[in-house]
Amino acid sequence: PGLWPALLGIVLAAWLRGSGAQQSATVANPVPGANPDLLPHFLVEPEDVYIVKNKPVLLVCKAVPATQIFFKCNGEWVRQVDHVIERSTDGSSGLPTMEVRINVSRQQVEKVFGLEEYWCQCVAWSSSGTTKSQKAYIRIAYLRKNFEQEPLAKEVSLEQGIVLPCRPPEGIPPAEVEWLRNEDLVDPSLDPNVYITREHSLVVRQARLADTANYTCVAKNIVARRRSTSAAVIVYVDGSWSPWSKWSACGLDCTHWRSRECSDPAPHNGGEECQGADLDTRNCTTDLCVHTASGPEDVALYVGLIAVAVCLVLLLLVLILVYCRKKEGLDSDVADSSILTSGFQPVSIKPSKADNPHLLTIQPDLSTTTTTYQGSLCPRQDGPSPKFQLTNGHLLSPLGGGRHTLHHSSPTSEAEEFVSRLSTQNYFRSLPRGTSNMTYGTFNFLGGRLMIPNTGISLLIPPDAIPRGKIYEIYLTLHKPEDVRLPLAGCQTLLSPIVSCGPPGVLLTRPVILAMDHCGEPSPDSWSLRLKKQSCEGSWEDVLHLGEEAPSHLYYCQLEASACYVFTEQLGRFALVGEALSVAAAKRLKLLLFAPVACTSLEYNIRVYCLHDTHDALKEVVQLEKQLGGQLIQEPRVLHFKDSYHNLRLSIHDVPSSLWQSKLLVSYQEIPFYHIWNGTQQYLHCTFTLERVSPSTSDLACKLWVWQVEGDGQSFNINFNITKDTRFAELLALESEGGVPALVGPSAFKIPFLIRQKIISSLDPPCNRSADWRTLAQKLHLDSHLSFFASKPSPTAMILNLWEARHFPNGNLSQLAAAVAGLGQPDAGLFTVSEAEC
């Protein structure tokens, strides 16, 4: 008996020396010369389990014969005091039996930072050797709130197929999906007309009237149960005529009639009514009718009918004449406009052909008339009146640095004095010409587009946004956060770049669309998002609270996963600011690893940038690293940084000590929470300095971890040759976005002008089958903005403008054409134009 503890210690030491590789199945390690029948075998092994919320999980091991059992989790032994042990004797064999239990908490699993899965296994000892159990993986269960795709409302005809897509929220374990029809569970086993695909879509093979209902996709796992937005499905039936009845007897007026009803079938659920008349009348051909038709009364009737026909023909001729005169007046207005004189870049429009006199032509007119501009350009208090006159002269005069003006022709001395005084204000002095973060152009009623390349920032000026007869020089500028003082209060954070478009105060008759990236994870439960605009006095104001927009508001915003599109009728300086409503609010950070292209010393620096996940922030860092002679050494990663007041930590591991030495004196570096959350500091980064043991060392293999304390984390496995490995260099090659930064006229738009006008004229009028602009908005997933579109003179134009802003320059016109064609419009040539029209 006294030798047993010593023998057990020898066995344990021998096992520890040989247990380098972890196994996922039961493995026995017998002691040489021992009886293999007395090796432990497991009656109960630990199994995979999920942690729900903050409740710890229990792992159990039971083996016979066993004198000791211990758990090992992620390569480390669990402390003995954390084991609950029960010993007994097997009733049939008399061998010792042992059962051990441990608890695993959520905090233990989270310490791994999500870089690898957390696992545990138990090891049992007996006098004959050891046996390892299978690995049990412990995962934190969750189910996100937002569906990746929700079902949309549909209107379908009888016996047409229905497909309602549903992509459940991300979760562990993956969510199970079920469907509800008017809150009743849809069971495909009871209804052969429906089935659910592997992708969780609900399919109705042939629509029936009974399938008209509200459908809801439900996702659930062991953590929670989520419901999608309900989709209203309407199955309609178009009406059809019954057969005609028999002709009636001939009446005293020498006519007879027959009738039919719209009842075969009758229209249901908004289906179309029958087309045509329900009553048909004809003259009789009996002898009595022939005799009475020759009387004087009938002669007078025929004379009256002929007189009415002559009057109608004359009226039609008058209407045609009026229309032609109006058309000639419209063409002369265009031709006499000063929009295409020498000071404005002409739009490329084909000349009129001799055989096509109806083609619109625009000829230059060098005689401009005196016009008056009224509006506020934020003048100083002691400046002249905001009303000034512009007279004949050269169309546009060259502008000096910092000057932003609008005019028909060269201003008089009074106007020149006003513009000169205006250009001295700080608001315009901060906009130097010729920088990579600014673009400008001259525009008229044809509209156009401004872009700052590789930043995701653009300004769409739709047709007729600028009044006809006026020419504006418009600029677009990206500001560095340190150059503009944007006060943030409480939990507010800057989510977008700070962008100016101007000059402010110009008259616009249609909203322009300002596009810019943002780095927030949009969620109505986590964020309160506001659009801020700087006033002429320099103070910042909340001009829009997203989610609470009024249709008649001067500003409106379409928020997407990584970009926002701001409708505005007033130019100025804008920024998107978020205020966290809970600790679940998160910003997307892009993590970039840079190192020198050429290393001439023993020291080698790895720079880890933590910046907003926006194109403009990426562009600034890439340009900076080009100046520093750096190269990207790993594929960029995205980290979700939460409003939890916890800092961001960075550490480097597994550096081969025989080749490299780390000069980091602490276990990790740290970036304070507020430096990141504020969002106004550029180029946030940490540097890890390594030193080569020998100048010939060129291969580097190590791990670099970046994580928020108690939050999300990312791991980089670095393995490359520092002298010749450039495989990641092409990932950040900056490409031009659609060519030149300023596009004027039709070349700035994907949709040809004449096709655009056809779509607007076809979809703006309301349709009884809803085959109008509302259905187009639904097909383009813009139906949440119907009230805003309806408040504008042309809702279809607003939808097409937003499509242009979202899809330039790579928009797929075929998809838009399919969406319009699917509306059931009778005009089959909606997307076709003649050669003369092109």
For residue 496, name the pLDDT band (cuts at 50, 70, 90). very high
Residue 573: strand, helix, or coil: strand
- Give the single-character DSSP code of 495: -
Give the residue-averaged pLDDT of 306-313.
Answer: 88
Side chain identity, residue 179: W
How many Cβ atoms from other residues are within 10 Å of residue 344's Cβ? 18
Side chain identity, residue 99: E
Category of 645 on φ-ψ map: left (φ > 0), alpha (ψ -120 to 50) or beta = left
How many Cβ atoms from other residues are within 10 Å of residue 607's Cβ? 20
Quote the radius of gyration of the chain (alpha carbons, Å). 38
pTM: 0.53
**Residue 104 predicted with pLDDT over 90:** yes
Q: How many helices and strands in the chain, by DSSP H and E?
A: 13, 48
Residue 93 and residue 90: Cα distance in Å, rounded? 6
How many Cβ atoms from other residues are within 10 Å of residue 696's Cβ? 7
pLDDT at 34: 64
Question: Token digits for 717?
Answer: 């496995």
For residue 837, name the pLDDT band (cuts at 50, 70, 90). very low
For residue 831, name the pLDDT band (cuts at 50, 70, 90). low
Q: Taking a C-beta distance cutoff of 8 angstroms, is the pair 711, 644 a contact?
A: yes
For residue 557, name the pLDDT band (cuts at 50, 70, 90). very high
441, β-bridge pairs:
474
Q: Write down the mean pLDDT value for the chain.
A: 79
715, β-bridge pairs:
705
Give the residue-averaged pLDDT of 524-536.
Answer: 88
Task: Check the CA dihedral 412-416-422-428 and report its sign.
Answer: positive
CA-based max dimension of the chain: 144
Give the contacts of 569 (CB within 8 A, at least 6 positions apart): 508, 510, 511, 512, 554
Give the contacts of 733 (CB within 8 A, at least 6 positions apart): none
Give the residue-averaged pLDDT of 143-165.
Answer: 91
**Residue 410 predicted with pLDDT over 60:** no
CA 25 to chain centre: 45
- Give the single-character DSSP code of 447: -
Q: What is the pLDDT of residues 114-139, one digit of tens each?
A: 567 889 999 999 888 899 999 999 99
Question: Token digits for 815?
Answer: 């998809």
For residue 829, name the pLDDT band (cuts at 50, 70, 90). low
Question: Token digits for 240?
Answer: 């059809």
Residue 738: strand, helix, or coil: coil
How many Cβ atoms from other residues are within 10 Å of residue 38's Cβ? 15
Residue 115 and residue 479: Cα distance in Å, rounded? 37
Residue 225 and residue 176: Cα distance in Å, rounded? 9
Side chain identity, residue 725: D
Q: Taking a C-beta distance cutoff of 8 angstroms, is the pair 468, 337 a contact?
A: yes
Residue 12 and residue 68: Cα distance in Å, rounded? 10
Give the contacts of 111 (CB within 8 A, at least 6 positions apart): none
Q: Taking a C-beta distance cutoff of 8 angstroms, is the pair 61, 43 a contact?
A: no
Residue with tokens 């996100």: 144
Q: Taking a C-beta distance cutoff of 8 angstroms, is the pair 651, 715 a contact?
A: no
Give the contacts of 448 (CB within 8 A, at least 6 positions apart): 441, 461, 742, 743, 744, 745, 748
Q: What is the pLDDT of residues 207-233, one digit of tens each?
A: 999 999 999 999 999 989 999 999 999
Give the contacts of 447 (CB within 8 A, at least 6 positions apart): 460, 461, 462, 463, 464, 465, 466, 745, 748, 749
Side chain identity, residue 660: W
pLDDT at 584: 82
- Give the single-character DSSP code of 353: P
Cα angle 778-760-325, degrees, rounded to a multiple of 5:
170
**Residue 97 predicted with pLDDT over 50:** yes
Indicate the burial class of 59 (C-beta count within 10 angstroms; 0-12, 13-18, 19 or more). Answer: buried
pLDDT at 537: 83
For residues 169 and 361, the model is more confident at: 169
Give the residue-averaged pLDDT of 176-198.
Answer: 93
Nearest to 159, CA basis, from 47, 235, 218: 235
Q: Taking a C-beta distance cutoff of 8 angstroms, is the pair 688, 664 a contact?
A: yes
C-alpha dist (Å) from residue 681 to 2, 265, 349, 374: 69, 69, 47, 40
C-alpha dist (Å) from residue 494 to 212, 227, 413, 485: 45, 32, 43, 12
**Residue 405 predicted with pLDDT over 70:** no
Residue 445 and residue 463: Cα distance in Å, rounded? 6
Note every long-range contact of 767-774, with CB atoms under 8 Å and residues 24 or more positions apart, other chains counting: 768/272, 769/270, 769/272, 769/824, 770/155, 770/270, 771/823, 771/824, 771/825, 772/823, 773/799
Exposure b/e, 702-714, CB count within 10 A at least 16 = b = bebbbbbeebbbb
Residue 13 and residue 6: Cα distance in Å, rounded? 11
Nearest to 51, CA basis, from 101, 102, 104: 104
Q: How far from each other are the two terminal CA atoms of the chain, in whole angstroms? A: 102
Residue 58 and residue 73: Cα distance in Å, rounded? 13
Residue 802 and residue 596: Cα distance in Å, rounded? 43
Nearest to 604, CA basis, from 432, 740, 722, 758: 722
H or E segment to which residue 236 belongs? strand 231-236
For residue 42, name the pLDDT band (cuts at 50, 70, 90). very high
Indicate the burial class of 587 (C-beta count within 10 angstroms; 0-12, 13-18, 19 or more). Answer: buried
- Give the single-character DSSP code of 764: S
Residue 116 and residue 566: Cα distance in Å, rounded? 41
- Give the single-character DSSP code of 167: B
For residues 114 and 494, the model is more confident at: 494
Domains observed in the chain: 41-140 (2.60.40.10), 143-236 (2.60.40.10), 438-580 (2.60.220.30), 586-735 (2.60.40.10), 750-822 (1.10.533.10)
Give me the phi and psi of 803, to 5 degrees please.
-60, -40
Question: Token digits for 616?
Answer: 């403009």
Q: Taking a C-beta distance cutoff of 8 angstroms, is the pair 649, 673 a contact?
A: no
Residue 257: strand, helix, or coil: strand
Q: What is the pLDDT of residues 738-749, one digit of tens each?
A: 457 899 999 899
For residues 97 and 729, the model is more confident at: 97
DSSP 356-412: -TTS--------PPPEEEE------TTS--SEEEE-SS-S-----TT---B-SS-B-
For residue 593, name the pLDDT band (cuts at 50, 70, 90). very high
Helix 795-807 to helix 753-763 angle (10° resolution) is 140
C-alpha dist (Å) from residue 57 to 48, 85, 136, 224, 726: 10, 17, 12, 18, 46
Beta strands at 154-157 and 231-236: parallel, antiparallel or unpaired: parallel
Residue with tokens 């004797």: 89
Give the residue-averaged pLDDT of 329-340.
Answer: 37
pLDDT at 25: 60
DSSP 317-347: HHHHHHHHHHHHHHHHHHHH-STTSTTSPPP
